[in-house]
Amino acid sequence: MGENDADGEQAGDVEDEEDEEEDYDEDEESDESEGTGDRDDDDDEDDDDDDDEDDDDDDDDKMDPQLVEELDSFARSFKDVANRFRLISKIGEGTFSSVYRAEDMEYDAFDNSWDLDRSPEGKRRLSMGDTLSPISKRQKKVGVGPRRKKYVAIKRIYVTSSPQRILNELVLLHTLSRCDSIAPLITAFRSQDQVVAILPYYKHADYRAFYRQLPLMEFKYYMKSLVTALEHVHLHGILHRDVKPTNFLYDPEKRRGVLVDFGLAERESVDPSYCTCRGYGENNHIRHITDRQPIGGYLKNDPRPGRRANRAGTRGFRAPEVLLKCLNQTTKIDMWSVGVILLSFMSKRFPFFNSADDIDAMIEIASIFGKPKISACSRLHGSMFDTNIPTVPDRGFTLEEIVDWAVNGTDVDETESSTRSLVDEDPEKDLAFDFLTKCLEVDFRKRISAQEALRHQFLAGI
């Protein structure tokens, strides 16, 4: 797990009580950034404008001919985009979409109240219909609006995406548009079978460029901004499902980040054929069955129907209940991902978990928390977990031990902690480890929520 890890033995069994079938929405690996860019203070506007113009010139000089052709083809096939925006560069690409940086040529012709840095008047948010309304003559007269270039991120959604998936993303973006930590949907266009979404362009720092050097006190602002965004998402009963550094655009200088990419997001719901975790502890019959010890092997032709559950997300960031095909997935899956990000920061290893499939992912988690804890988690969701890998411990390790091993190379064994006095070195680490432990709780019922996380001492003081 993580960078510079030696290859280890990886084998084990995760046996569901029902046959596995091919699930929908498997790993959605996406490196796209839907917008980058800090919304700069008024004092810096002129300098930033000059920098943007220089960047545009550099982009034109260095642009690959193949990319130039791609941008031209996009503009030709989508006249609505070409008439209003000047495509500059490609800033991301994922499984279901590509993202381009562009200049909004008609910015001043519309009421862009979503742009919180325009003016005091512009700090109010309107509905999407108002956002597209032309500005009034009075607004033009008083000079409401920016006097410099404005950039957007254009998300071109591939035709391979289902219409329902596209509609779902656009509706959720509109629903969540009233939070400063979430990229709002400016507008959207459709031309035949093509759909594009227009989002703000945010400058940000690459997570890999700062996570090793950023002090813990500064990283608290990263976590506070991320959890604030998730609180807003979760209060609307929505699961993001793909929380990871590339989907949270953060600027360390401004201490501000924006959550993007709601392509996998969905509303929280309970499947009618709910997971056993809903009634666990309330039904002794269920507990008796799931507490049985697994027997060697499994039926060659098991007639039981397979369990179908949404397992969408990015490898290494998915919660145990997602890997175990829980049908009752909640917003707590996003808080597990928050914990993985914090663990990667504290251990200085990214990605921390680096599994190739779900079984390897469960082995990695069990290597930290121990066999008994993962077995209990599996039984909670109507599955059984068993492995004979000697490196998977019975006791498990504390997260302090894991971080010390990752940072200092200290050996970690099951009988004696070799942890150095991390807390004595930095009192904030005590709070950080407590917060981390609450995020990386394998039992989702005990895992901290976004609202609770904001009240935790680790984040409450900033």
CA distance 417 to 400: 9
Compute the Cα dihedral for 98, 206, 226, 409 and give only its sign. positive
CA distance 196 to 80: 10
A 10 A CB-CB count for 182 gives 22
Angle 395-397-403 (CA atoms, 0-180°, nearest 5)? 170
Task: From the candidates 242, 261, 334, 404, give the one annotated as an active-site residue.
Answer: 242
Tokens of 273: 């054929």
CA distance 53 to 51: 5
CB-based contact 164:193 (threshold 8 Å): no
Task: Give every CB contact of residue 420 below 8 A, 6+ residues apart in sequence.
Answer: 404, 408, 410
The contacts found for 144-148 with CB under 8 angstroms, 24 or more apart, are 144/118, 144/119, 145/107, 145/108, 145/112, 145/118, 145/119, 146/45, 146/107, 146/108, 146/115, 146/118, 147/45, 148/45, 148/46, 148/48, 148/49, 148/52
For residue 358, indicate whether it is catalytic: no
CB-based contact 334:234 (threshold 8 Å): yes
CA distance 132 to 110: 6
CB-based contact 327:444 (threshold 8 Å): no
Residue that is written with structure tokens 């499939």 in the block: 357
Sheet of 187-191: strand order equals 85-93, 97-104, 151-157, 194-200, 187-191
Instruction: Please report, as a single letter, which amino acid is at residue 94.
Output: G
Q: Annotated catalytic sites, by residue?
A: 242
